[in-house]
């Protein structure tokens, strides 16, 4: 069964959902207007769902009734999850779209499109539930942009009752230059980096700028720290194991002729591998301690482990590739040659259950849709939205069908 035609029939509705959601961007975990909108749509479809999972998240369930259930050896029904993020960004929109947001926030990362595509997939699967066995769990998650809603939703049972056995999600936009408009980008194994942050407080002793010998200069110490931290990646990480250490904020001092007491630095670490991530976190502390100690100062160091590396299950991804080729055409399914250094808390779900996260290209220079994620002019080509719904729906349908056939032969 190919669900592309069903998605195409819904295209205008999916675009309308996206535009309505685009106008009400909300931040973090607190997305009540968005949640109410999604709940109303799911209710209209007759889909059972639970509200306020992870503050504003929604978990829906579609139960297939196509004959004998898709079950494991002990008779437990198999379930696949489909996930979309919900939150926007604190960016004033400058797209000029007729449906642009006016509340000071913006869906500048495509989450409005993600929700609309998942609603489309939900409608397709609900309408065809007599054609498949097992269940599909719909996960609408807040706070992907921070502080991270996936972990909270998991802790509140999003992957339970019924237990999720596999999961599928997507990101629209221009994350990879290898994936063009309407193309599907897949990657086996480690696809996206961890997303961590750290704060360093370099403590010295303030003094007159003309008498540096009477103090301990935290600015000079900080300069040494910044340079030394760059050698972690260039000299301690294997070149094939991608990683980044970046300082984004340095604060210290208020006058040109006064050496301050301290300097604060804030930065981020990205790593494709968990072992590299842990090594970098330890080495930053050792380097800061060594430099400040050698120069007569001291330090404070706080490292926050954010999202882990996103790791796609190779077996699930191979099967999904077949699905994507049916929907988009083999020539439009791209095996990405490199992972992305961006972070995504879809990684938390993929730590718990096998699955895959894929990309859907939506840039279109002919329509001036060229701006990157988190830009005030970011937009997506709405002509590809129906493909996203088809890919999610078909991915769930094909996985449940395969699991049912495996169960029958065991």
Structure tokens given for 281: 């976190």
Structure tokens given for 218: 């935290």
Contact of 349 with 81, CB cutoff 8 Å? yes
Contacts of 336 (CB under 8 A, 6+ apart): 176, 178, 179, 185, 186, 187, 191, 359
Indicate which residue of 93, 262, 382, 403 is catalytic. Answer: 382
- Of all residues in the chain, what percent are helix, strand and coil, respectively (each to 5)? 40, 25, 35
The whole-angstrom separation of Cα 187 and Cα 336 is 6
Contact of 202 with 115, CB cutoff 8 Å? no
Indicate which residue of 37, 307, 357, 386 is catalytic. Answer: 307
Instruction: Provide the pairing of β-strand 166-173 with 79-85.
Output: parallel
The whole-angstrom separation of Cα 290 and Cα 45 is 61
Residues in the chain, overall count: 410
Q: 256 — phi, psi (to 5°)?
A: -70, -20
Instruction: Provide the pairing of β-strand 189-192 with 310-312.
Output: antiparallel
Structure tokens given for 207: 């003094």
Contacts of 116 (CB under 8 A, 6+ apart): 14, 15, 17, 18, 21, 385
Strand partners, 48: 61
Contact of 201 with 299, CB cutoff 8 Å? yes
Q: Clarify whether 382 is annotated catalytic.
A: yes
Q: Which DSSP string do the residues of 232-283 spell out, in sequence order?
A: IIIIIS-TTS-EEEEEEEEE--SSTTEE-SEEEEEEEEEESSHHHHHHHHHH
Q: Clarify whether 349 is annotated catalytic.
A: no
Q: 98 — phi, psi (to 5°)?
A: -65, -25
**Residues with active-site annotation:** 307, 382
């Amino acid at each position: 069964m190919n669900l592309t035609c069903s998605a195409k029939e819904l295209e205008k509705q999916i675009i309308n959902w996206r535009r309505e959601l685009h106008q009400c961007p909300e931040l973090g975990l607190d997305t009540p207007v968005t949640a109410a909108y999604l709940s109303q749509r799911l209710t209209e479809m007759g889909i059972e769902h639970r509200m306020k999972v992870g503050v504003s998240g929604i978990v829906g369930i579609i139960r297939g009734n196509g004959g004998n259930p898709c079950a494991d050896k002990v008779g437990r029904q198999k379930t696949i999850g489909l996930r979309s993020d919900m939150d926007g960004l604190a960016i004033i929109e400058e797209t000029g779209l007729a449906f642009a947001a006016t509340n000071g926030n913006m869906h500048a990362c495509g989450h409005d499109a993600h929700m609309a595509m998942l609603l489309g997939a939900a409608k397709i699967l609900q309408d065809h539930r007599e054609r498949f066995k097992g269940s599909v769990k719909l996960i609408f998650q807040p706070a992907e942009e921070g502080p991270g809603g996936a972990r909270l939703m998991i802790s509140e049972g999003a992957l339970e009752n019924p237990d999720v056995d596999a999961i599928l999600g997507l990101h629209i936009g221009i994350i990879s230059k290898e994936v063009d408009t309407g193309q599907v980008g897949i990657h086996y194994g480690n696809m996206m980096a961890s997303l961590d942050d750290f704060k360093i407080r370099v403590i010295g002793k303030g003094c007159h700028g003309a008498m540096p010998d009477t103090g301990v200069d935290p600015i000079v110490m900080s300069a040494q720290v910044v340079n030394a931290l760059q050698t972690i990646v260039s000299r301690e990480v294997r070149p094939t194991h991608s990683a980044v250490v970046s300082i984004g904020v340095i604060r210290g001092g208020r006058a040109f002729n006064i050496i301050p007491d301290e300097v604060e630095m804030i930065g981020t670490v990205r790593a494709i591998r968990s072992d590299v991530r842990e090594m970098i976190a330890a080495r930053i502390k050792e380097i800061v301690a060594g430099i400040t100690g050698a120069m007569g100062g001291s330090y404070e160091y706080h490292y926050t482990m954010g999202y882990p590396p996103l790791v796609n299950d190779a077996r699930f991804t191979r099967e999904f590739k077949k699905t994507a080729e049916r929907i988009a055409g083999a020539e439009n399914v791209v095996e990405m040659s490199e992972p992305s250094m961006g972070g995504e808390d879809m990684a938390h779900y993929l730590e718990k259950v096998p699955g895959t996260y894929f990309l859907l290209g939506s840039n279109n220079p002919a329509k001036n849709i060229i701006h990157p994620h988190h830009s005030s002019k970011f937009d997506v080509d709405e002509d590809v939205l129906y493909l996203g719904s088809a890919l999610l729906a078909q991915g769930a349908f094909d996985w449940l069908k395969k699991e049912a056939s495996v169960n029958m032969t065991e």
